[in-house]
């Protein structure tokens, strides 16, 4: 989902929880808004943690050395 998806989900949840005053039978839009805010916050936290782990890597360069002194000289 990523950082943008988490922020977007939180915005949609805030709109549903605080700005919408419509009544739909059998659906509590305020509770759905709070659930969206919680899901967006969870997605945001998880994406930040995973990005921090991804950035905390080390790279090691391995250089192999081949000595050609054991080979016979080329035939001319």
* Inside any domain, residue 75: no
**Tokens, residue 73:** 């000289």
* Inside any domain, residue 74: no
* Inside any domain, residue 17: yes
- Give burial (CB, 10 Å; 0-12/13-18/19+) of 13: buried
CA–CA gap between residue 76 and residue 43 (Å, rounded): 69
| Residues forming beta bridges with residue 27, ordered by sequence position | 24
Interval 5-56: pLDDT, tens: 999 999 999 999 999 988 888 899 999 999 999 999 999 999 999 888 777 7
pLDDT exceeds cutoff 90 at 75: no
In which region does residue 13 sit, left (phi positive, over 0), alpha (psi from -120 to 50) or beta (all else)? alpha
* Inside any domain, residue 49: yes
User: What is the span of the domain harbouring residue 14?
Assistant: 2-54
* Inside any domain, residue 61: no
**Could you give the number of structural domains in the chain?**
1
pTM, entire model: 0.68
């Amino acid at each position: 989902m990523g950082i943008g998806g988490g922020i977007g989900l939180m915005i949609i949840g805030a709109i549903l929880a605080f700005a919408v005053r419509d009544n739909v039978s059998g659906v509590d839009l305020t509770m759905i808004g709070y659930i969206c805010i919680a899901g967006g916050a969870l997605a945001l936290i998880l994406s930040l943690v995973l990005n921090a782990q991804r950035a905390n890597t080390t790279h090691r360069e391995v250089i192999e050395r081949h000595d050609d002194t054991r080979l016979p000289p080329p035939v001319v």
